[in-house]
Structure 1
Amino acid sequence: MLLRSWLGPSACWKDCTRTRCCSPPWIEPYRRQQNTKRTGKARTDEAIARDLAKFVEWVNTECRRQGRTDDIPPDERGSLVASRFRRTLAWFIRRRPRGLVAASIQYGHVHTRLIQGYAGSYDSGFPDEYAFEDWLFRLENLAEDQQALDAGEHVSGPAANAYRHRVAGATRQFAGHVLTSTRQARDLIGNPLLQLHHGEGMTCVFNPVHAACQLRGTVDDPLVTPDTDDCRPKCLNIARTDRDVLQIQQHHDALAEIVADPLAPMIRHERDQHELRRLRAILDDHEQTKNDVNP
């Protein structure tokens, strides 16, 4: 389910035509032999490992048959097992659009925050894997933010000063920091300096006390995160970088074309004009504060 959400038909077709085969020949007979009813039982690790081994064998056979060199080499760490894909799954969940929601649907979680627990506990170790990937992702964003500020990027919005403070403080504290275990990452991502969450046309300098969105978790939870898809325009946690404003400008220009259409329905025309004025005010404020800083 997760992969289907992110792999488009064109990409699938390209891969299929390249190999001239959509799947190993034993897949369909295997499916027909299985009971299609949900029995409430997951497949065993042994069964998954056997299927992975058969898949690797099929890929390498096809590579040899077609004279390809991009086969799957032997792994010095042993055979492929399901648990070795946890970091891969964590990478996709953290970095792909709607990844956390897709994972929640896939695994039937009541809450969308996997780092609160995998199936209700930390026994599997997966929350630590996710936290480690989250840690790496935040450090990458932090490095980009610091480089942008060093290059003269302007920041506006009610949380602009807090944004600059956190980027500078987190860079001093965490640049070059080495983790010796994934569990350490889960402890560190609760640090207030790392609570910078980039959304569409905005950056949340997260303070749960001031948050106007629906929080993922409780206010007193050190790992609580904002819902950037539910960002409220008047939230005090909002900062807007030049990169954010570029997205707003693109949205503004696209909306202006719609508003200029005389055939647009009246109710939609009024709604879009209201949104256009709101975006224009954000752009003007960003430009005005930039002029105030650099008269």
Structure 2
Amino acid sequence: MRTYLDFEKPIADLESRLEETKKLAESSNVDVSEAVAVLEQSIEKLRREIFQNLTRWQRVQLSRHPDRPYTLDYISLMCNQFIELHGDRTVRDDPAMIGGFCELDGQTVMIIGQQKGRNTKQRQHRNFGMSNPEGYRKALRLMKLAEKFNKPIITLIDTPGAFPGLEAEERGQGEAIARNLKEMFMLKVPVICIIIGEGASGGALGIAIGDRVFMLENTWYSVISPESCSSILWRSWNFKEQAAEALKLTAKDMTTFNLVDGIIDEPLGGAHTDHSAMASHLKDVILQNLAELNALDTDERIEQRIDKFCSMGVVVE
């Protein structure tokens, strides 16, 4: 059964009426094709109106939709022969960060990403997509492995942040993320980073230094979540909508600020409405950009990557 967000309630009401009309036709053999066509047109029109005028907070809600595709969903839909690799060779394996080699349209690539869970048990196992230091160290190990075999790297970012627990700090959470930032700048292979859901703080940035950084249409990328920002500024989560507006954290905002390279369109209604179509479009974007990056000289590619990030935040008066 589909999950509807608060602002989708008008659509839910119309779709409920549509279902009732179809059931009536089945049970009474009455021709309701005209009524069905009118309802379907109304639903399509209303959906377009709503999704063309989303607030920043509503896009944050969409990025967290429980039916939204996660990293493993994209891997299963885009890739062949995925071989997951485990462990950081220091502490343990972190289920919140996954990665491995796979075949993408005939090319072998290393794909790394944060993974959330669908139910309570999975969410606990995946730690709600919040990686510990060993997750970032595993990611770096896999990146270095890809570099060794000259394979491109794809990272899929979807996290509410790095795990903030005491044990994570004791094992060097900040150092692990900082090391990833440094090492990713110098990787000799093409790196494409895509925010597929939430992109919060250093937890996202720890695997988001690349030659190309993209955001899906209904995602967010910021140093802090709207709820946390609200709790700091207003001592309450009740002002999260205002915080989202002030943070300017959507894909459109990030593109305006030249912090990401582009926006990847989602199906009307969000990525969760059609996993296959979303994965197919994402795959096309990845392959197109891989072709462009593979054509560049290694040193030139690294220099462009460094220049891109060094130019962020620079103001000339």
TM-score by length of 2: 0.24
TM-score by length of 1: 0.26
Decide which structure has greater helix share.
1
Largest Rg, 1 or 2: 1
If asked which structure has higher relative contact order (CA below 8 Å, sep 6+), I would say: 2
Decide which structure has greater strand share.
2
